[in-house]
């Protein structure tokens, strides 16, 4: 059966879960009755290569004289039979199909070991208390990485698990180098890719192929696919879209690109792709396309005359993962960073809570582009509908919300809806460290299945955070991280160094802030990134406002996003790179907090000016107890039991009530006067997540005072309610 469009993710993105762009598009096309087929050729190439037949071909392909191989490659080649015989079982284990193999993998004489196993000293820390499965996953990952190193040295220097020929796509201002590479012979990896593509094309038989290119590491393979299609299927139109074109190719002018492609679409793909299909059907003129580059009379033209609006998020349909090899993705544990592990271990359904970013002010971010600028949240009920549909389709209950920054109010609504529907799901997302994330909200998110959040602490300097317009302070970040950690939600911080005008003193002070946060236990994971200036960020558009200059010759005819810049007022940031990462590695291990910061650097650095108790003091500040009238009251626990008894003191007697509560960890009781106990017993079910309307503080106060004739505040701030709140069963949101 012919399909109108074939949606392809080129090699390589993730091994453990599909990149969601094609699933999003297929879900939308379903709503229009347009037949589409999708494939993640990345995982298919990996499975073909990392198989018995694939490794036999690999070792037979070696043309380099044996004496010219490195000692590591010689070792792998000498042990090739062990690699060939073990590979299918290891891949099956990493796919989750053969868990008992973990016991064999953890024996030192099962897997052949090359250079990647030299990092074994980490294992006792990382897996000492985590069990055989995780340790075996890590060892199996090292086994695959050894083979990858062999591939890079012997047959394909551009190979990489999550990026292929990335160097050709990164900062490629000119198309020359990529164009030249495409004139060369197919590489070992290319041949596998083209063989799989040919098999797909024979079955799918599409009128158009759409290539989703999210990263530089997908670009070369996308062009190889397009090149082969132009030769073998000249009648098939080829389009490209995705994150890389959206950021890098907005000013493309090199006509040679269109020897391979017919169209390059920018930003949200639903309407542009629908327009292309209408063009194929003769229902639309080429000039009337939407956000699409084409070649007309030998010149690259940008066609955007369409008056049709983009689709709202509620109109785009539920992502559709059919056609993808959902049971064959492999979960690996590459590094011991706990958040990075989540990226590569386990299968996650990808969803978005909101289009764009609700903050949209950070000066290092591409806030001028529509994917950030246009903010549109999705209703919590619709999100849950989509989650239930995806669970039914994929069988997976894990969700990664890939928002730029998930909005706290929507996260609250989503959590309540998940609890109301009694869904059992696991989810994580990216956030801003908003003061809205109170301990109660964090407890609610945890109760709904949230296991981790990641957010930008960035430079950990209040002056630079203000220059970034991050809208947070270091103190606020620390308190929010504490709230999440206390609730049992893991926190990962994105850290940045090298922002314009950042001094050596500020870099060291930022490191001290990070050290204190890890020592206080409010951060569990983090990663340092060096600042990169991009063309569509405020820093890139108005460098003079940040006291930096664009380097000459940083624009070209192909990719234009990363900009080389000169910072005359800041420090030499490269000097700090190794020390920042080495110190962080140790802090994540929970060690070396007492080392002087100078220990991490080979060059002299200034002493920190940060108070050694700064983070501790931030966390010691008492929260305000003032509750707004419209604050929502939510009860997460089970309904209590109530009993009565008489209390006597100095000849006086009065009726008391005892309410016994049961939560998942323990049982506890509170004792209060009878009338107040009876009111609380009736009140608690009204705060349940099952209630059609959420209880507010104002309604609770009115009901209490009308029924009992007493002031509400002494009761609410008294010992009984305080006990319930400490147990995280009674939340104020």
How big is the chain by its Cα radius of gyration, in Å? 29
16 vs 728, higher pLDDT? 16
pLDDT > 90: what percent of the chain? Answer: 74
- Please say if the pLDDT value at position 554 is more than 60: no
Q: With CA atoms as reference, report the closest residue to 725 among 445, 439, 478, 412.
A: 439
Tell me the mean pLDDT in the region 374-380.
Answer: 93
Q: How far apart are the first and last CA of the chain?
A: 53
Angstrom distance (rounded) from CA 198 to CA 537: 41
- Model confidence at 624, in pLDDT bands (50, 70, 90)? low
Give CA angle at 616 (614, 622), nearest 5°. Answer: 110
pLDDT tens by residue, 679-708: 999 999 999 998 878 899 999 999 999 999
pLDDT class for 623, splitting at 50, 70, 90? low
* 211-224 confidence digits (pLDDT tens): 999 998 899 999 99
pLDDT tens sequence across 140-196 = 999 999 999 999 999 999 898 877 766 676 656 789 999 999 999 999 999 999 999
- 470 pLDDT higher than 90: yes
Helices (H) and strands (E) in the chain, counts: 29, 25
* C-alpha to C-alpha distances, 220 to 163, 456, 550, 560, 561, nearest whole angstrom: 10, 31, 28, 17, 18
Q: Which of 32-36, 337-341, 528-532 has the highest mean pLDDT?
A: 32-36
User: With 50 as the cut, is the pLDDT of residue 128 above it?
Assistant: no
**What band does 121 get if pLDDT is binned at 50, 70 and 90?**
low
Least confident span in 2-6, 182-186, 566-570: 566-570
Do 508 and 577 contact (CB within 8 A), yes or no? no
pLDDT in tens, 644-658: 999 888 888 889 999
Q: Find, among 357, 356, 405, 361, the residue nearest to 537 by Cα.
A: 361
Q: How far is the C-alpha of 481 from the C-alpha of 44, rounded, in Å?
A: 39
Mean pLDDT of 330-354: 81
Answer yes or no: are the C-beta atoms of 622 and 439 closer than 8 Å: no
* Helix extents (H) in 286-398: 338-344, 370-373, 380-394
Q: Helical H runs in 461-591?
A: 462-468, 474-487, 504-519, 538-541, 577-588
Of 246, 226, 251, the residue nearest 236 (C-alpha): 226
Residues contacting 696, CB < 8 A, separation 6+: 629, 630, 631, 632, 633
Report pLDDT for 171.
Answer: 58
What is the average pLDDT across 63-73? 91
Task: Taking residues 226-230, report their average pLDDT.
Answer: 98
Predicted pLDDT of residue 553: 59
Q: What is the mean pLDDT of residues 46-67?
A: 94
Choose among 389, 380, 390, 439: nearest CA to 411.
380
H-assigned helices in 214-253? 219-232, 243-248
Helix (H, G, I), strand (E, B) or coil at 152: helix
> 133: pLDDT confidence band, cut at 50, 70 and 90?
confident
**Does the pLDDT value for residue 663 go beyond 90?**
no
Which of 289-303, 331-345, 589-603, 622-636 is predicted least confidently?
Answer: 331-345
Q: What is the pTM of this model?
A: 0.90
pLDDT digits 0-9 by tens, 528-549: 999 888 888 998 889 899 888 8
Average pLDDT, the chain: 91
d(CA 295, CA 226) in angstroms, rounded, equals: 16
Please list, in sequence order, all residues whose beta carbon lies within 8 angstroms of the beta carbon of residue 72, skipping any fewer than 6 positions away.
114, 115, 149, 150, 153
Domains and CATH numbers, the chain: 1-45+163-317 (3.40.50.280), 63-154 (no CATH), 334-620 (3.20.20), 632-732 (no CATH)
Q: Determine what percent of the chain is predicted with pLDDT higher than 70.
A: 95
If one counts every other C-beta atom within 10 angstroms of the C-beta of residue 459, the result is 26
pLDDT surpasses 60 at 618:
yes
Q: What is the Cα 600 distance to its own chain's centre?
A: 29
């Amino acid at each position: 059966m012919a399909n109108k469009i074939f949606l392809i993710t080129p090699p390589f993105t993730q091994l453990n879960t599909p990149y969601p762009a094609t699933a999003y598009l297929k879900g939308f096309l379903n709503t229009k009755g347009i037949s589409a087929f999708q494939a993640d050729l990345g995982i298919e190439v990996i499975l073909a290569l990392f198989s018995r037949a694939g490794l036999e071909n690999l070792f037979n392909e070696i043309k380099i004289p044996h004496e010219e191989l490195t000692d590591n490659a010689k070792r792998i080649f000498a042990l090739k039979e062990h690699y060939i015989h073990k590979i299918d079982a290891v891949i099956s284990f990493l796919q989750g199909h053969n868990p008992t193999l973990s016991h064999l993998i953890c024996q030192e004489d099962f897997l052949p070991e090359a250079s990647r196993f030299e990092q074994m000293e980490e294992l006792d820390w990382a897996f000492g208390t985590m069990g055989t499965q995780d340790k075996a996953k890590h060892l199996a990952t090292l086994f695959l990485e050894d083979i990858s190193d062999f591939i890079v040295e012997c047959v394909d220097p551009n190979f990489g698990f999550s990026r292929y020929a990335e160097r050709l796509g990164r900062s490629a201002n000119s198309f020359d180098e990529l164009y030249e590479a495409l004139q060369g012979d197919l590489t070992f990896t290319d041949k596998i890719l083209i063989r799989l593509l040919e098999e797909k094309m024979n079955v799918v038989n599409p009128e158009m192929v759409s290539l989703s290119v999210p990263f530089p590491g997908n670009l070369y393979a996308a062009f190889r696919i397009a090149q082969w299609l132009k030769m073998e299927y000249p009648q098939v139109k080829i389009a490209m879209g995705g994150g890389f074109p959206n950021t890098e190719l907005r000013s493309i002018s090199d006509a040679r690109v269109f020897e391979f492609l017919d169209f390059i679409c920018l930003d949200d793909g639903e309407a542009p792709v629908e327009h292309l299909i209408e063009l194929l059907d003769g229902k639309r003129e080429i000039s009337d396309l939407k956000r699409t580059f084409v070649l007309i009379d030998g010149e690259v033209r940008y066609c955007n005359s369409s008056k049709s609006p983009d689709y709202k998020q509620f109109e785009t349909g539920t992502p559709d993962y059919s056609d993808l090899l959902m049971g064959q993705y492999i979960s690996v544990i590459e590094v011991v960073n706990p958040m990075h592990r989540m990226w590569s271990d386990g299968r996650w359904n990808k969803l978005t809570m909101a289009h764009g970013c609700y903050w949209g002010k950070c000066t290092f971010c591409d806030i001028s582009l529509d994917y950030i600028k246009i903010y549109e949240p999705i209703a919590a009920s619709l999100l849950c509908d989509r989650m239930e549909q995806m669970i039914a389709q994929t069988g997976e209950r894990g969700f990664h919300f890939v928002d730029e920054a998930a909005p706290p109010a929507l996260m609250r609504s989503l959590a309540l809806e998940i609890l109301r529907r009694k869904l059992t799901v696991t989810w994580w997302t990216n956030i801003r460290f908003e003061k809205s994330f109170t301990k109660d909200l964090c407890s609610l998110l945890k109760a709904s299945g949230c296991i981790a959040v990641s957010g930008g602490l960035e430079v950990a300097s209040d002056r630079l955070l203000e220059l970034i317009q991050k809208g947070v302070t270091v103190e606020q970040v620390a308190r929010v991280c504490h709230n999440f950690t206390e609730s049992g939600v893991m926190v990962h911080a994105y850290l940045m160094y090298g922002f314009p005008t950042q001094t050596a003193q500020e870099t060291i002070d930022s490191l001290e802030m990070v050290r204190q946060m890890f020592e206080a236990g409010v951060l569990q994971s983090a990663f340092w990134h060096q600042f990169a200036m991009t063309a569509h960020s405020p820093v890139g558009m108005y460098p003079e406002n940040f006291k930096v200059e664009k380097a000459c010759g940083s624009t070209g005819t192909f990719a234009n996003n990363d900009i080389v810049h000169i910072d005359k007022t800041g420090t030499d940031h490269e000097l700090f790179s190794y020390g920042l990462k080495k110190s962080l590695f140790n802090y994540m291990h929970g060690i070396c907090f007492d080392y002087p910061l100078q220990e991490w650097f080979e060059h002299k650095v200034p002493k920190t000016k940060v108070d050694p108790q700064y983070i501790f003091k931030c966390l010691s500040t008492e929260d305000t107890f003032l509750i707004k009238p419209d604050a929502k009251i939510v009860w997460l626990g089970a309904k209590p039991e109530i009993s009565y008894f008489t209390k006597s003191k100095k000849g006086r007697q009065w009726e008391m009530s005892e309410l016994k509560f049961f939560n998942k960890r323990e049982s506890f009781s509170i004792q209060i006067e009878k009338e107040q106990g009876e009111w609380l017993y009736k009140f608690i079910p009204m705060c349940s997540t099952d209630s059609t309307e959420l209880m507010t503080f104002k309604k609770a106060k009115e009901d209490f005072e009308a029924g009992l004739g007493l002031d509400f505040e002494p009761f609410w701030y008294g010992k009984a309610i305080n006990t319930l709140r400490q147990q995280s069963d009674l939340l104020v949101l």
